[in-house]
Amino acid sequence: MNPVIFLVDMQSFYASIEQSLRPETQNQPLVVAGDPERRSGIILAACPLAKACGVKTAQPLWEAQQACPNLVIVRPRMSLYLDISLQITAILEKFSDLVEPYSIDEQFISIHGSEKLFGTPLQIAQKIQQAITSKLGLNARIGIGSNKVLSKMACDHFAKKNKTGIFYLHTQDIPNRLWPLPIESLFGVGKRMAKHLRQMGIRTIGGLAQFPLERLQRRWGINGHVLWLSANGIDPSPVRTNSFDLQKGIGHHMTLPRDYRDAEEIQVVLLELCEEVCRRARTHHQMGQTVHVGCRGIDFSAPTGFQRQLKMTEATNQTMMLFQYAWAVFQRFWDREPIRSIGVQMSQLVSDAHVQLNLFTDERTHRLGYVMDEIKQRYGSSAILRASSLLQAGQARERAQKIGGHYR
Percent composition of the chain: helix, strand, coil (DSSP 3-state, to 5): 45, 20, 35
Triad 42, 20, 153: Cα angle to 5°: 60
Q: How many CB atoms lie within 10 A of CB 401?
A: 12
Looking only at the bridges linking them, the beta strands covering 5-10 and 106-110 are antiparallel
Does 97 count as an annotated binding residue? Answer: no
d(CA 72, CA 26): 11
Q: For residue 221, what are the CA distances in angstroms to 132, 190, 210, 224, 235?
A: 41, 17, 17, 5, 17
Q: For residue 341, what are the CA distances in angstroms to 60, 181, 289, 388, 392?
A: 17, 34, 24, 19, 17
Q: Which of 75, 77, 36, 69 is nearest to 50 (CA)?
A: 69
Do 112 and 145 touch, CB atoms closer than 8 A?
A: no
Does 259 count as an annotated binding residue? Answer: no
Choose, from 18, 100, 106, 276, the residue flagged as catalytic: 106
d(CA 160, CA 166): 8
Residue 5: DSSP 8-state: E
Q: Is 264 a catalytic residue?
A: no
Ramachandran angles phi, psi of 255, nearest 5°: -90, 125
Beta bridge mates, 309: 292
In the annotated binding site for Mg(2+), the residues are: 9, 105
In the annotated binding site, the residues are: 9, 105
By annotation, the residues acting in catalysis are 106
